[in-house]
Amino acid sequence: MRDVMFISFEGKAMQRHEHSGIRGWFSPFPLLPSLFPARPFPVRSTLAGLLLCIATSAFAAPDAQTILAASDAVRNPDKPFGLTTTLLEYRNGKQTDSTTLAVYSRAAPDSGQFRSLLRFLAPARDADKLMLKNGNDLWFYDPASKGTVRISPQQRLLGQAANGDVVTVNLAGDYNATLAGEEDITDGDRQPRHAWKLDLKARAPDVTYHRIEMWIDTANNRPVKSRFYAESGSLLKTAYYRRYQSQLGVARPTETVIIDGLDPNWVTVMRFSDYAWRDVPEAWLQRDYLPRFRPQ
């Protein structure tokens, strides 16, 4: 069993055993095993057993926020990194658009939230255009006009790039999670999974998705499926995280299938490839660097 380091939503390092699930994240009462050693209790076995059951059920109950942070860590590496995102858009079963982006990401030291530079690789008309995303602080740069302009989150949603940064969002930083139960569901690869169902509510009102339902595999904290809702309660997107492969030392989803909530015939397939550790200096993640950015 291999130990893997992760950065939590608070930016603190935590350790877990890769295959032990959420129960391996921490023990709220580290002395509990010594109080109840693993040997028979011939005299007080009934009382001890009862206490053990109470303790186990009380303290092994998973913490939803911790599950969410663990799931974030499955999607997002803990050091500055880069990847290529390919977005294929389908309408009524036919491919209508495709966009390829190079993404460079780095987590903020204080909030743990990712800041990302997105560079368009394709289509050719959009090549080398850049978007800087730092929460709702969004800047767009066009190398032809040399202009760097601030854009609103709603403007970001105009293009497929709206989905391009979904991969580098630490949900635990922006949402309060509660455990809504456990469910047996079918994942994006049509495999049965036993999953925590989390209900995520946005901490701040200025987020695009005010509520998220998320299913996370109880065995390994892998995100399986999410549903994103608007403030009105209407379903905006459904996402399946699938095709898990080892990337930068951890099994991560290399494909996300996004289904539009209002028009289920509008499907976007996002593929993530070319994961690599990248040096993304803090000073580069600002408006005034966009005209100077050059990929490494």
Partner 1 sequence: MTRHPLWLLAALAPLAVAAPQDDDAALQLADDAPTVATAQRDWAAFAELALGDSQARSGDDPSGDARLSLDARLDRALALGWRLVLADRLDMRWLGGLDEQRSVNTLKEAYLGWQPAPEWLLDLGRINTRYGAGTGFNPTDFFKVGALRSVSSVEPSSLRENRLGVVMGRGQWLWRGGSLTAIYAPKLDNAPSDDPFSLDLGASNPRDRGLLVLGHAFSDAFNPQLLLYREAGEDLQAGLNWSALLGDATVAYLEWAGGRAPSLAGRAAGEDDRAFRAAFVTGVTWTAPSKLSLTLEYQRDNAAADAAQWKALQNGRPDAYWRYRALAGQRQALTTRESAMLYARWQDALVQRLDFSGFVRHDLVDASNATWLEARWRGEQADLALQWQYSAGDALSNHGGLPLRQRWQALVAHYF
Among 111, 179, 199, 286, binds partner 1 (CB under 8 A): 286
- Torsions phi, psi for 124 (to 5 deg): -60, -35
Subset of residues 137 to 196 that bind partner 1, contact rule: CB under 8 A: 137, 142-147, 149-155, 157-159, 188, 190
Q: How many CA atoms lie within 13 A of 87 on its CB side?
A: 25
Is residue 201 a contact residue for partner 1 (CB under 8 A)? no
Among 4, 88, 179, 248, binds partner 1 (CB under 8 A): 88
Find out whether 31 and 59 touch, Cβ atoms under 8 Å: no
* Residue 27 burial (CB count, 10 A): 12
- The smaller minimum CB distance to partner 1, of residues 73 and 132, is found at 132
- The smaller minimum CB distance to partner 1, of residues 51 and 158, is found at 158
User: Binding pattern to partner 1, positions 35-64, x when CB under 8 A?
Assistant: ------------------------------
How far apart CA 217 and CA 158 sit, in angstroms, is 32
Is residue 11 a contact residue for partner 1 (CB under 8 A)? no
The dihedral over CA atoms of 260, 247, 181, 225, expressed in degrees to the nearest 10, equals 10
Secondary structure of 109-170 in the HEC alphabet?
CCCCCEEEEEEEEECHHHCCCEEEEECCEEEEEECCCCEEEEECHHHHCCCCHHHHCHHHCC
Contacts with partner 1, residue ranges (CB under 8 A): 84, 86, 88, 90-91, 93, 95-98, 100, 102, 121-125, 127-128, 134-137, 142-147, 149-155, 157-159, 188, 190, 206, 208, 238, 240, 242, 255, 257, 259, 264-265, 267, 269, 271, 279, 281-284, 286-289, 291-292, 294-295
